Structure 1
């Protein structure tokens, strides 16, 4: 398809990606309607629109560069603030329900795969992507899409269905505390506190407020991220050359698994060093917004109309399984409703969207804990997605 901007117009394409990511973030933090939609969806839908009206090319080396370099750098940056010891010592209840939600994703993925495996092409790859994404969020989706080398048009169709499902699910999660049945059957201390205080003034902007970030913070964050990516690439390459069995090379030779494991090991050994760094979450989140812009660009709407309805059913079954399992187990163990809903949000959308929901609802005491617990999904999501994708492929 012809476009106004050519595929080799590198600076203009980089400019569009960076500017549209910035616009999406600005709108999310400036306007309530945009915050409700989420900046990620704005980035994706806007990029799709510009492609389908003929402004942007469907393919370009610039998009490949985002997948090859930006996504791997985002992984360690988003992991730097994990405090593994603190997760287990201070957030046990949230950690428990988060793992339950992840289990709901796994159960839903298995059921949905066997129900639809004969109707959706590349469902083993898509299943691995969504299994990882609905445990850790968008960064795991990116990692698995790159790992399984899923065709771009099916990545785009899955992203559209996924984001539509996430928008529906987030609306459900936000609406649940207002329903009387849940008010009667679940404890909601944080929601009750907000109502008692009569304070509804909360926004993404107030959470992502200005921080004191030095040149040293930026330099160390980026230097450490580049170093970890470089080392992980070399380690993964070494294991690929040593092992010949597909399972071993797919595990030990996987750049993303090596990268997440290496990063967590480093921050576990040197927690104080990384805790003192400011800006890693902001840098990593911005990189993810660049990714959301890029994955929206190659979306061929004709193919999406053809494939997305069934893919939407696939992701719907997984998301609903996550929610139902979380609510049932949470009720059994008397988990607070707010913690259940945030755990579901963190698994499906990632810790950033869960924190955004906590901020928007006024549950400020839960913002830091859900960010802390939710980042664990970055690690375990890649392992689950890798296993599920490889396992699903054995049935096709």
Structure 2
């Protein structure tokens, strides 16, 4: 256990840091032009990463688990209140194809990384399988595949730390890309241009313009938060019911059905989108849901930066950092090359790659932080499907690698 100034069980101090730093990041983003260009999400993430690496805050705590378990699920429905499923279907179709192209990049990266490092890292077949599932789906796949292949616990923890550091660094790169002239010349950027076009006041930065104050009442807050809690409760209860009801094993059909109906986030997204489409007049009258949901996502960004502890990686398994670096870089190269070849927008390429490496929640968070509001619901839907295919692709590669 690495010593830190603030201990893992200093619950209120850590919550004060998470909530406070998220608020400061938003303030800086809307107050200063440099911070607006960097984005509050990067400020939130980098600040937490620096404090964790200088041992001011712990890299692991029950507080962080609470954010994953409660804050993120509540943020998702709040951010979907204005999303009518009939309007987003076309965008979801394009993003699904781009997501699958990006998944090809993950597979190629896994194969290259395995054959490059297989003589240097014991049990690399299991670790690469685990990381393949994670870099197509998310942490759910990582946990499932590590259990399937019985990966040693010390290797799992080291791989997770290396993954968190690489993921945090990659998100920084993805957030900077839309600001670079090279990429703006090579790709269409309709969503970036829309955000810039809506910035009519030359004295106001993009973030401040996008998040201008709106009329909001106590009733709005009550209905927004109360409805979000109800949607999460219904969705997670249904997902748990189906997960217990549908058997898993050799039958591929049941495995797929279990993956679809038994996944919390896929069920939450589905139930929320159905509710918003059927009861659109109710949801359209609620103000402030996007603001509350976005603040919760900023807390999530702070937590993403926390576990990226460089000393732990260098001490335990530096070669695992090389593995995830190879996988992420090849995913990026394949995503951008195929995205350019098949004429996808820059925003679609960035979010598809993000959804592979980080999962649907990080991709949605990036879309929100950049102001690409029309892509939030589609990337959540598409990214969540990665949870299903990630296990199968990771398992297939794991069995193949095991023959060497």
Q: Sort the TM-score into its range (normalised by shorter chain).
A: 0.7 to 0.9
**In 1, are the aligned partners of 2:39 and 2:369 still within 8 Å (CA)?**
no
Q: Tell me the distance in 1 between the aligned counterparts of 2:340 and 2:49.
A: 35
Look up the match of 2:102.
105
What SS does the corresponding residue of 1:131 show, helix, strand or coil? coil
Q: Counterparts of 1:254-265 in structure 2 under 5 Å?
A: 254-265=263-274
Shift of residue 18, structure 1, vs aligned partner: 0.6
Look up the match of 1:166.
171
Shift of residue 15, structure 1, vs aligned partner: 0.5
Shift of residue 14, structure 1, vs aligned partner: 0.7
Look up the match of 2:337.
324
- TM-score normalised by the chain length of structure 2: 0.76
Give yes or no for the alignment of 1:228 onto 2:231: yes
Q: Which runs of 5+ in 2 are unaligned?
A: 118-123, 148-155, 250-254, 355-362, 399-404
What SS does the corresponding residue of 1:4 show, helix, strand or coil? coil
What SS does the corresponding residue of 1:375 show, helix, strand or coil? helix
**In 2, are the aligned partners of 1:129 and 1:144 still within 8 Å (CA)?**
yes
Shift of residue 40, structure 1, vs aligned partner: 2.2
- TM-score normalised by the chain length of structure 1: 0.78
Q: 1:278 aligns with which of 287, 301, 323?
A: 287
4+ residue runs over 6 A deviation = 142-150
What SS does the corresponding residue of 2:135 show, helix, strand or coil? helix
**In 2, are the aligned partners of 1:352 and 1:371 still within 8 Å (CA)?**
no
Give yes or no for the alignment of 1:310 onto 2:323: yes
Q: Tell me the distance in 2 between the aligned counterparts of 1:215 and 1:144.
A: 40
Q: Tell me the distance in 2 between the aligned counterparts of 1:257 and 1:249.
A: 11
> Compared with structure 1, are the counterparts of its residues 288 and 171 closer, same or farther at alpha carbon in structure 2 (3 Å cutoff)?
closer
Q: Tell me the distance in 2 between the aligned counterparts of 1:356 and 1:3.
A: 30
Q: 1:218 aligns with which of 218, 221, 227?
A: 221
Q: Tell me the distance in 1 between the aligned counterparts of 2:28 and 2:386.
A: 34
> Compared with structure 1, are the counterparts of its residues 304 and 36 closer, same or farther at alpha carbon in structure 2 (3 Å cutoff)?
farther
CA RMSD of superposed structures (Å)? 3.5
Look up the match of 2:131.
126
Shift of residue 52, structure 1, vs aligned partner: 2.5
Q: Which runs of 5+ in 1 are unaligned?
A: 133-140, 358-366
Look up the match of 1:208.
211
Aligned pairs, how many?
Answer: 360
Q: 2:303 aligns with which of 290, 294, 297?
A: 294
What SS does the corresponding residue of 2:342 show, helix, strand or coil? helix
> Compared with structure 1, are the counterparts of its residues 99 and 125 closer, same or farther at alpha carbon in structure 2 (3 Å cutoff)?
same
**In 1, are the aligned partners of 2:161 and 2:307 still within 8 Å (CA)?**
yes
Give yes or no for the alignment of 1:376 onto 2:378: yes
Look up the match of 2:40.
39
